[in-house]
Amino acid sequence: MKWILSVFFCLSLGSLHAQKMNNAKLDKIIKANSSDVEGKDGYWQFKYKNMYLLLVTDQKHNRMRLITPIIEEEKLPENYFKNALRANFHTALDVKYALADGMMWCVFIHPLKELSEEQVLDAMSQVYYGAVTFGTSYSSTDLVFPASKEKEPEEKEKKG
């Protein structure tokens, strides 16, 4: 029994080691699954389907961001803000909608080393679909976490 546990332990260590993502691996994944790749290790801009995505990493701090701009903040209808916040909880899943630098973005943020190739590909798809469905279903996949059964609060009338 100890021998079996030892073998299992050694095999599981090998699979954990194989999952250490870095800029070199990301570069290969991006080039194999997108087009119009520009940039260098740690910063890429590329076309995924018909949309440009940006991938930024910080190996020292073990972080990565995969993002795409959606629309300028000043052009956003007011109700889209609340819809995006609700979507961050129910339908956006691994991506989130975020405001930065006067722009609404679709964002995937994750520790870098812990990513697998499948997760990178899934992140590219979710960022793409999160941006494409902004303003309609606000969804990054077909999976939706159920909304609460509570009725949404009505906006209070302004007293004048």
pLDDT computed for residue 154 by the predictor: 39
**Domain 19-132 fold:** Yope Regulator; Chain: A, (3.30.1460)
The DSSP 8-state label assigned to residue 131 in this structure reads: H
- The whole-angstrom separation of Cα 116 and Cα 21 is 7
pLDDT tens sequence across 9-19: 555 554 444 56
Binned at pLDDT 50, 70 and 90, residue 141 comes out as confident
Say if residue 44's pLDDT is above 70: yes
**pLDDT-above-70 percentage for the chain:** 77
- The mean pLDDT value for 142-155 works out to 53
Secondary structure in 3-state letters for 59-77: CCCCEEEEEEEEEEHHHCC
pLDDT computed for residue 18 by the predictor: 52
| Cβ proximity of 130 and 95 under 8 Å | yes
Beta-carbon contacts of 52 under 8 Å, excluding residues fewer than 6 positions away, are 36, 45, 46, 68
Beta-carbon contacts of 31 under 8 Å, excluding residues fewer than 6 positions away, are 37
Structure tokens at 99: 């405001």
CA dihedral 4, 5, 7, 10 (to 10 degrees): 180
Assign 126 to helix, strand or coil: helix
pLDDT tens sequence across 54-68: 999 999 999 999 999
Secondary structure in 3-state letters for 1-41: CHHHHHHHHHHHHHHHHHCCCCHHHHHHHHHHHCEEEEEEC
